[in-house]
Structure 1
Amino acid sequence: MSRCPGWEALDVLEAAPDGPVAFCADLSPAGLLAAYRAGVYPFPASDEYTRALNEVVFADQVQEGGIRLVGEEPADPFAVSWWSPDPRPVLPVSAAHLSRSLARRLRNRLLWSTSLDRGFERVLRECRGDRAPLWLTEELIASLIRLHELGHAHSVEVWEDGDLIGGVFGLRVGSVFSMDSMFFRRPGASKVAVSDLAARFAQAGGELLDAQRDSPHVRDLGCILLPREQYVGYLRRTARDTRPMPTGTLPARRLAQPAASR
């Protein structure tokens, strides 16, 4: 089997466009950050059946070298698959906008506010919820919380009368922000969270929000498809941009105004 010593030695451009590019059990904060910098994100197996299915379905490709094993840890690599789709759905921050109907609701009657990093773990737990498959494992959550403490992972929260009604979280790599998950408890709240993230990230020099997996929902947010080669090249060019995003609780209705007037 072909094994890479670390993510820096993995060339994702050689991998298949629509399947896992690697297996690696290392979900440590350092390992997770290195993977995101390489353009790869994790999908932990939710149970032993899923882990075994990974091995049954992909063992031959691993043996042939089409899918790599990363790291030298003794833990079972098939417990976590790692993905780098080609093409990649991304949202340029300059193109982020709310639908006319949602913008009108914010202007006229929705007294929502937004914040940055005010409830990171709460957003993670809400995103986890009772979703299946349960990819947000406790091990992954612990590493994400540590990366948040180190300033690499962030969340945006949407509030209504003190209640958390929506949010989004992910990791920043330079001027790319990779959105891991989002949730809503009021219609439109997750879209407001993404729009707020785009606005704050733009002020910090950010340029792309990465939606990771293509779907009708992310297309509805305005995402476009970027070839993986361009996405990975973008990560490599911008990895050293560390200007912080602005903090503070702000009225969500500002997002319903033209970008130039916010």
Structure 2
Amino acid sequence: MSRCPGWEALDVLRAAPDGPVAFGADLSPAGLLAAYRAGVYPFPASDEYTRTLNEVVFADQVQQGRIRLVGEESADPYAVSWWSPDPRPVLPVSAVHLSRSLARRLRNKLPWSTTLDRQFERVVLECRADRIPRWLTEELISSLIRLHELGHAHSVEVWEDGNLVGGVFGLRVGSVFSMDSMFFRRSGASKVAVTDLAARFAQAGGVLLDAQRESPHVSGMGGILVPREQYVRHLRPTARDSPPMPTATLPARRLAQPTGSR
């Protein structure tokens, strides 16, 4: 089996476009951040059945070196699959938009407000609730919280009368914000969270929101597909420090206005 010690030794650009690019159990904060910087995101096995299925389906490709193993020899390689789709579904921050009906609701009757990093852990836990498979494992959540403390992971929250009704979270790398998951307790709240994230990230010099997986939800908000090579270029550090995203509590109604007037 072909094993590499870290993501810097894996040529992601030559990996398969539509399956896992690697297996490995390293979900430590450092390992997770290195993976995102390489253009790769994790999908931990939610149970022993999923872990075994990973081995049954992909063991031959691992043996042939078509899928690499990453991390320590002693770790269970099939506990976490790592993905880097080609092409990659992304949302250019300048193109993210709400549907006409949702924008009209925001203008006319929804008293929502948005915040940044006000309740990161709570957003992550809301994203995990009632989800099957439960890929947001305790180990992954612990590392995400640590990366939030270090300033790499962020969340946007949507509020209605003091109640959290939607949110999104993920990691900022280069000019990309990779969205791991979102949730809503009121119809449209997750879309408002993503649109708010795009607006705040644009103010901080961001270019793309990474959707990780293609869906009608993403394409309906302005999503496009870009080649993996192009996506990876956006992950490179900029020559100067990027400014932080604005943290103020803001009215969600502003997101119903044309992009240039937000």
TM-score (norm 1): 0.98
Taking the aligned partners of 1:13 and 1:241, their CA distance within structure 2 comes to 26
Moved more, 226-235 or 194-203: 226-235
Task: Give the CA RMSD over aligned residues.
Answer: 1.2
Displacement of 1:258:
1.6
Residue aligned with 1:246, SS: coil
Any residues of structure 2 matched to 1:22-33 within 5 Å, and which?
22-33=22-33
Q: Give 1:17's aligned residue.
A: 17
Q: Map residues 224-243 of structure 1 onto 2, 5 A cutoff.
A: 224-236=224-236, 238=238, 241-243=241-243
Query: Which letter does structure 1 place at the counterpart of 2:18?
Result: D
Task: Output the CA distance in 2 between the equivalents of 1:96 and 1:216.
Answer: 14
Contact map agreement 1:114 1:159 (CA 8 A) in 2? yes
The gaps in structure 1 that reach 5 residues or longer are none
2:118·2:157 contact (CA, 8 Å) conserved in 1? Answer: yes
**Counterpart of 1:169?**
169
**Contact in 2 for aligned 1:174/1:240 (Cα 8 Å):** no
SS of the equivalent of 1:136 reads coil
Distance (whole Å) between structure 2 residues aligned to residue 126 and residue 40 of structure 1: 23
- CA distance 1:73–1:142, shift in 2 (3 Å): farther
Cα offset for 1:176?
Answer: 0.3
After TM superposition, list the pairs within 5 Å mapping 1:83-102 onto structure 2: 83-102=83-102
Tell me the distance in 1 between the aligned counterparts of 2:240 and 2:90: 20
Structure 1 partner of 2:213: 213
Tell whether the 8 Å contact from 1:174 to 1:235 is kept in structure 2 after alignment. Answer: yes
Alignment deviations for residues 157-204 of structure 1 (CA, whole Å, 9 cap, x no partner): 000000000000000002100000000111110010000000000000
Summarize the Cα distance change of 1:167–1:259 in structure 2 as closer, same or farther, 3 Å threshold: same
Partners of 1:238 and 1:91 lie apart in 2 by 20
Report the Cα distance in structure 2 between the residues aligned to 1:239 and 1:64, rounded to whole angstroms. 39
Q: Tell me the equivalent position of 1:254.
A: 254
Asked if structure 2 preserves the Cα contact closer than 8 Å seen for 1:123 and 1:167, the reply is: yes
| SS class of match (1:58) | helix
Which has the higher mean CA deviation after the structures are superposed, 66-75 or 190-199? 66-75
Deviation at 1:18, TM superposition (A): 0.6
| Map of 1:119 onto structure 2 | 119
Task: Summarize the alignment of residues 106-185 of structure 1 with structure 2, pairs less than 5 Å apart.
Answer: 106-185=106-185
User: 1:198-242 deviations in whole A, cap 9, x for unaligned?
Assistant: 000000000000000111221122110001111112212649753
The CA distance in 2 between the partners of 1:243 and 1:78, in whole Å, is: 38
User: What amino acid maps onto 2:255 in structure 1?
Assistant: L
Helix, strand or coil at the partner of 1:121? helix
Q: Which runs of 4+ in 1 moved over 2 A?
A: 236-242
Q: Which moved more, 1:67-76 or 1:155-164?
A: 67-76
Question: What TM-score do the two structures reach when normalised by structure 2?
Answer: 0.98
- After superposition, the C-alpha distances for 1:62-94 in whole angstroms (9 at most, x for unaligned) are 000000001224110100000000100000000
Structure 1 partner of 2:223: 223
Return the alpha-carbon distance in structure 1 between the equivalents of residues 249 and 236 of structure 2: 32
Q: Distance in 2 between matches of 1:24 and 1:228?
A: 21
Partners of 2:198 and 2:58 in 1: CA distance: 37
Using the aligned pairs only, state the percent identity: 86
- Return the alpha-carbon distance in structure 2 between the equivalents of residues 11 and 51 of structure 1: 24
**How far, CA to CA, are the matches of 1:194 and 1:215 in structure 2?**
14
For 1:95, what is the secondary structure of its paired residue? coil
Which sections of structure 2, spanning at least 5 residues, go unmatched?
none
Matched position secondary structure for 1:139: helix
Q: What are the within-5 Å matches in structure 2 for residues 49-64 of structure 1?
A: 49-64=49-64
Deviations 1:74-131 (A, max 9, x none): 1101000000001000000000111111111111110000000000011001100111
Q: Which residue of 2 aligns with 1:82?
A: 82
Give the count of matched residue pairs: 262
* Aligned residue type for 2:182: M
Tell me the distance in 1 between the aligned counterparts of 2:19 and 2:242.
31
